[in-house]
Amino acid sequence: MNPMVGKELRQRMRERRGWVLPSVYLLVLAGVIALAYYFSVAERQRDGWRGLQGSDIGVIIFTTVTYTQLTLLLLLAPVFSAGAITIEKEQRTLSGLLTSLLTIWQIWWGKFAASLLFLVLLLVSALPVLSLALAFGGIGPKQVLVALGTSLLVLGVVSAIGLYCSSFFRRSIHATAVTYGILIALTVLTFVSFAITQAYLEHRYGSVPEPYHRAMAPLYLNPYFLVSMAFVAEKEWYPDWFIAIGAFVLLGAIAVLLALRNLRRGGEQL
């Protein structure tokens, strides 16, 4: 095992938040699911229970869990990644780390793996809750795997962005703030840009013309759009889902290269 990974994991799991965060995370998920179930059943009860099936409840639970856990993990990802390198700068231990036998890649990978693995722990801990959707029906194992896989990809890219900001700034608060700013741009600004572009095209042409990718382009960098592909049929994945995956992979690769460059420059200045 990379010694950086072992060190970071031991340090994180010995902290109080190592067990507090998973507990709070699962409590929030359970509370949101209970509310979604209550409101869906209450609405059908007012209609005299017409059309209420277990598959409908399964879809509601799956949708609620997927979007809720993605939101929570996106809020937590910058906390674990944006301060991974700046904490070394603040404690004046980065110089010793860069002059050690570890390569720049091993240092980055150790920080990245430690940040991502804790998020993966939270993601996996929600599997029993997510399995409730399979029990009710309406959702298949393939949709669960797609939701987990796309969520993991998004978290990996966000963690890479957080590490880039951590390698660029000297203070954790600055790196965390900029990481959250980038996250807001990816989630909110992309959706606003899509809505504006779609409204403009509909106003000009009466409808969104083919090819419609000009209107969809901002959403390719939206985490919720990527994860939403778990709710549609496989024949509708092409080309939007594959373009979105490629965009996220490219964004993550750029963040990795820039972070490695910043670390390498830091080592050359010693």
Average pLDDT of the chain to the nearest whole number: 83
pLDDT band at 230 (very low <50, low <70, confident <90, very high): confident
How far apart are alpha carbons 6 and 114 in whole angstroms? 8
10 Å CB burial of residue 23 (0-12, 13-18, 19+) is: exposed
121 confidence band (pLDDT: 50, 70, 90): confident
What are the tens digits of pLDDT across the range 248-268?
A: 999 999 999 999 999 888 755
- Of 131-145, 197-211, 215-229, the range with the lowest mean pLDDT is 197-211
pLDDT score for 156 = 95
- pTM beyond 0.85: the answer is yes
